Chain A
Amino acid sequence: MTSTSPAQPAEKHVAPQADHGDPARSLVARIAEARAWLFLAGLLICFEVWSRLAFGATFVLNPFNLQSIAIFAVAPLLLATGQTFVIISGGIDLSLGFIMGLAAVIAAHATNIAGAAIPLPLAMLAGILASVIVAGVPGVINGLLISRLKVPPFIGTLGMFGVARGAAFLLAGGTTVPVQNSWFALLGNGKFYGIPYLVLITAIFVIVMHYLLSQTRFGQHNYAIGANVQAARRAGIDIRGHILRLYVLSAMCAGLGGALYAARFTAGAAQAGEPLLLDSVAAVVIGGASLFGGSGTIFGTVAGALVIAVIQYGLVFVNVEPFWQFIAVGVVIIISVLIDQAQRRFSGARQDE
């Protein structure tokens, strides 16, 4: 590439040069991008006011509330982290809930078995490792089904939802599996300077996942595949390999979720993640991802998961019947998608000028 200063063409600047630096539009885009955090702030303010009027007590400044919300958010957030990658790629993983349950049962069994042979802290690590690795197995199957056999992600992971569910209940013998390991219990319920270990582990994990999505080729290719799989293929990206790794990653996120569940409740249960699957999808969508793929961020998903946790915990805190949680979360999902649509329409209209 030595040729410099190309000859000037006869027709210069025949089309307007690209620069759409419109401040009003980028403000709207920024609000749309940050909507999950705005929701979160709004909810916290609402509950603060409500709590002060009804009980004369603070909601937000009470460390116990914050801890509880954070612990509430841990499991759905872990599922939603993997789900964020999958949804950005244009897929969906419906099997995560029962992969988490399977992992919780495995974590309990493995910790107990290992605890008979090796010291308790090592047995705890072995249990966590075993659950994450075993969780990877349904992930591999999901990935192979979707990448090699071209099964639509919705159907492939729905099948795995059933398989993982059955396997988890069989392994658990239809009941919950208690964990006999004091270290594991400490991990699940102990605190480090007031911050629960579970929250700490999740925070570190989420930062690593943010790095993976935003700073690596894997993350970059994930966005490209979600936007235009044909373009990604023509650019030489190994689509099959990527999809396989993607579903293994999301299953392993659920595996960690299962291990931490087993730590928190000192028991593994097959139904551990059952109600969390749709929460994970909701967190991703509230966090600003599009179900059509191509957009979304980990920190957006964190905000989405916190929005759900605040609604669930806050409504209990102010003594509202728990059924209102479902309605509130549903309304937030719909508003979130409406904001996304409005923003797209707005930016689309400007683009056609």
Chain B
Amino acid sequence: MNSTNQNAPLLEVRNLSKHFGAVRALNDFSMAVRPGEVVALAGDNGAGKTTLIKAISGVFQPTGGEILLRGQPVTFATPQEAREKGIETIYQDLALADNLSIGANIFLGREPMRKAFGFLPVLDRKAMAEAAKATMGRLDFHVSRLEAPVSNFSGGQRQAVAIGRAVYWDAQILIMDEPTAALGVPEQRKVISLIHQLKAQGRGVIFISHNLQDIFAVSDRIVVLRRGVQAGERKISETNHDEVVKLMVGG
């Protein structure tokens, strides 16, 4: 990648609004994510974080404004379309099928097939397991029991599986909604290190969290939302906890 690409935003949101009747959940909001950049999205409950990510990931149609992907305006009718364009959302509840293996989860809905005996189409479990191993290896997560259902793994490891699925399908923008919320401290650190890996691979990450410590540990910039509008944007290196909290509560 050359330097001009580095600075051009992967994803840009311009003057985005989403109104539900008279309620302005999101109003004239703008932000950008560059390759290899982690942007934290902070704000109190009801500030509009969820509305914003739902608009970006195709769940809601914005009332106004535009979304640009590598400079091109895009609209997503469904989350499926957003995913096909490389925007993957990793939900708090992970969206994994607990009874299936890592590989089966990565390929869920897009399973590779092979021909048994030269004619009978069957699931290519070997290809799924190999892809799972390679993908999880890229995230520095090494498993030997690739056939085990993901319910056997811990919360952080399951988070890694959800991230691995996005990485395998070459998502360029990962939206992570409270990825560390339900985890113990060592697992939180593992997820933070996963986000560092994504950054190193040149992907853009939108990281939503209530935990300022995590935000400061991993983000390049922080965008604060308050009552549907942008309350401020800071480089992490140029701000501190107190300032962010003030922006969030409007002090």
Q: Which residues of A contact B (CB under 8 A)?
A: 1, 3, 6-15, 17-21, 211, 215-217, 220-221, 223-224, 226-228, 230-232, 234-237, 294-295, 347, 351
Contact = CB atoms under 8 A, between A and B. Distances in A.
B53 interface: no
Interface stretch (B2-10, B43-51, B183-191, B236-244): B183-191
The 5 A-B pairs at the shortest CB distance, nearest first, are namely: A235-B109, A235-B108, A7-B200, A224-B97, A215-B122
B113 A228 contact: no
Interface stretch (B12-20, B24-32, B152-160): B152-160
Interface stretch (B68-76, B138-146, B174-182, B220-228): B138-146
B111 A236 contact: no
B108 A10 contact: no
A6 B199 CA distance: 9
Contacts of A17: 141-143
B154 A228 contact: no
B130 interface: no
A232 B108 contact: yes
B202 interface: yes
Given A6-B201, A235-B109, 13 more contacts: A1-B170, A3-B201, A20-B153, A211-B122, A215-B116, A215-B120, A215-B122, A220-B108, A223-B100, A231-B94, A232-B109, A237-B109, A351-B152
Tier of interface size on chain B: 35 or more
B104 interface: yes
A20 B95 contact: no
Interface in B114-163: 116, 120-123, 138, 140-145, 148, 151-154, 156-157
B144 A236 contact: no
Q: Is chain A's interface secondary structure helix, strand, loop, or mixed overall?
A: loop
B189 A15 contact: yes
A223 B107 CA distance: 14
Nearest to B128: A220
Contacts of A220: 100, 104, 108, 111, 123
Contacts of A215: 116, 120, 122-123
30 contacts: A1-B170, A6-B197, A9-B196, A11-B193, A12-B140, A12-B193, A13-B140, A15-B156, A15-B157, A17-B142, A18-B141, A18-B153, A19-B143, A21-B144, A211-B120, A216-B122, A216-B123, A217-B111, A220-B123, A224-B100, A224-B108, A226-B99, A227-B97, A228-B95, A228-B98, A231-B96, A231-B108, A232-B109, A235-B95, A236-B80
